[in-house]
Amino acid sequence: MFGSLDWSTLQQFWWLIVSVVGSLFVFLTFVQGGQTLLLTIPGSEDEKTLMVNSLGRKWELTFTTLVLFGGAFYASFPLFYATSFGGAYWVWILILFTFIVQAVSYEYRRKPGNFLGQKTYEVFMFINGSVGVLLIGAAVGTFFTGSNFTLNEFNLVKWTHPLRGLEAAFSLFNLSFGVFLVFLARTLGALYLANSLDHDGLVARLKKSSFNNLLCALPFLLYVLVSLLLMDGYAVNPVDGTVSLEANKYLGNLLQMPLNLILLLAGLVLVVLGVVVNRFTASVRGIWPAGLGTVLTCLAIFFVAGYNNTSFYPSKADIASSLTIYNASSSHYTLTMMSYVALTVPFVLAYIVWVWRQMDSKKLTIDELAADKKSY
């Protein structure tokens, strides 16, 4: 089945898969966003515990999706994996650090004998939700602004900036992208928590918070979108694979891929709809339209970065070294085999949905946590 597809179709198919995993990851950063809300939203220790326990039942899904995102990139676009991780060293090391400290925080926070203290783990959670997501946003921003690397004739990477990736955070576009993701994660976190908790006071505050965080996200989103439409992009010549700068490349991508434009607009509308419904009606189910909208918006952004003969990881130091989905991918054989493996993804999603429904059919209450010595 997949073996009969030509290499470029498989490469595009795998960009789609990586985009889906990346977009699901962004949706699941509601856990990170929720973690940053722990400082401001809860009015008591019980309320904080309630929020932590709701988020704590989902943190592993976000973590695992990040690992899968890395694994999928490694298997399908190993040259990107090698170039970005080996080159933009410090940005990735710092991102990893924020995720290491998050992984233990839920489990250790309130356990007896915890020598770092409860507050330390709450700070860890906040760092993961703010710095971690900000840096991820800055790293994704380089898909459009480019990075400082060169590749030799054997495709071995050399980074040309002493900050080794951290310089990405000093670009206004990348930084805005990162800040937008932080506020989006907070918006989604508030929506998720409002839907999962049985606590009127807390839910009312979360509903307000989701709206306020969306308002904070909008200027940054606007800046990112306008910049994206106006900036020069890195176009790939489909015949010889050479990369060159093209004025308004990303605007062109949206216009030349109208379905993608619809995807982007529909996604944004759904996010706003989810938040508005939550804020101005009695409904607490805004997480679902907003979540779907997040996935659609992210998909559109990934598609703009990689499709329509575009370099998804451009080099500012040497434009000829820029990575495209064609020159950075695995072999035809590996992409074929991995495509068969990817057929299992719907089954994985199905059991995740099933278990999610089983666990969340009843809202979480303070009384339940008080009776459960295993709670976080």
Applying CB under 8 A, does 357 fall inside the site for another protein? no
Number of residues binding to another protein, judged by CB under 8 A? 77
Long-range contacts of 93-102 (CB under 8 A, 24+ apart): 94/131, 94/135, 94/166, 95/132, 95/135, 95/136, 95/139, 98/127, 98/128, 98/131, 98/132, 98/135, 99/63, 99/66, 99/128, 99/132, 101/127, 101/128, 102/32, 102/35, 102/59, 102/63, 102/128, 102/132
Least distance CB 173 / another protein (angstroms)? 24
Q: Looking only at residues 106 through 125 of this chain, which bind another protein when binding is defined by CB under 8 A? A: 106-108, 111-116
Q: Looking only at residues 150 through 169 of this chain, which bind another protein when binding is defined by CB under 8 A? A: 153-159, 164
Compose the 17-46 pattern: x for residues touching another protein by CB under 8 A, - for all others. ------------------------------
Q: What is the DSSP string of 301-321?
A: HHHHHHTTTB-SB-BSS-GGG
Least distance CB 182 / another protein (angstroms)? 21
CB neighbour class for 357 (10 Å; exposed up to 12, middle 13-18, buried from 19) = exposed
Q: Looking only at residues 185 through 244 of this chain, which bind another protein when binding is defined by CB under 8 A? A: none
Least distance CB 352 / another protein (angstroms)? 5
Residues contacting residue 2 through CB under 8 Å, at least 6 positions apart: 10, 13, 335, 336, 339, 340
Least distance CB 321 / another protein (angstroms)? 13
Least distance CB 260 / another protein (angstroms)? 26
Q: Which is nearer to another protein, 124 or 220 (CB)?
A: 124
Phi-psi category of residue 165: left, alpha or beta, with phi > 0 → left and psi -120 to 50 → alpha: left
Applying CB under 8 A, does 362 fall inside the site for another protein? yes
Least distance CB 66 / another protein (angstroms)? 7
Compose the 44-83 pattern: x for residues touching another protein by CB under 8 A, - for all others. ---------x---xx-xx-xx-xxx-xxxxxxx-xx-xxx
Q: Looking only at residues 304 through 343 of this chain, which bind another protein when binding is defined by CB under 8 A? A: 330-331, 333-334, 337-338, 341-342
The SS3 call for residue 109 is: coil
